[in-house]
Amino acid sequence: MDNLESQELALLLDPERIPRHVAIIMDGNGRWANRRGLPRIAGHRAGVNPVRDCVETCAQMGVEALTLYAFSVENWKRPRTEIDTLWRLLRFYLRRELPELNKNNVVLRVLGRLDALPAKVREEIDYAEERTQRNRGMRLNLAINYSGRAEILDAVNAVIAQARLAGTLDTLRLDEESISSNLYTSDLPDPDLLIRTSGEMRVSNFLLWQIAYAELYVTDTLWPDFSRTELMRAFLDFQKRERRFGGLVMKDPVPAAIAEDEWIEETAVSSK
Catalytic residues: 27, 75
Reduced to 3 states (helix: H, G, I; strand: E, B; else coil), residue 122 is: helix
Strand partners, 65: 21, 139
Alpha-carbon gap, residue 261 to 145, rounded angstroms: 57
To 5 degrees, how large is the angle CA 103–CA 109–CA 112? 155
> Which residues 6+ apart lie within 8 Å of 238 measured at CB?
17, 19, 192, 193, 215, 217
The tally of CA atoms less than 13 A away on the side-chain side of residue 7 is 4
Nearest to 160 by CA among 188, 179, 146: 179
> Which residues 6+ apart lie within 8 Å of 15 measured at CB?
61, 62
Alpha-carbon gap, residue 198 to 220, rounded angstroms: 4
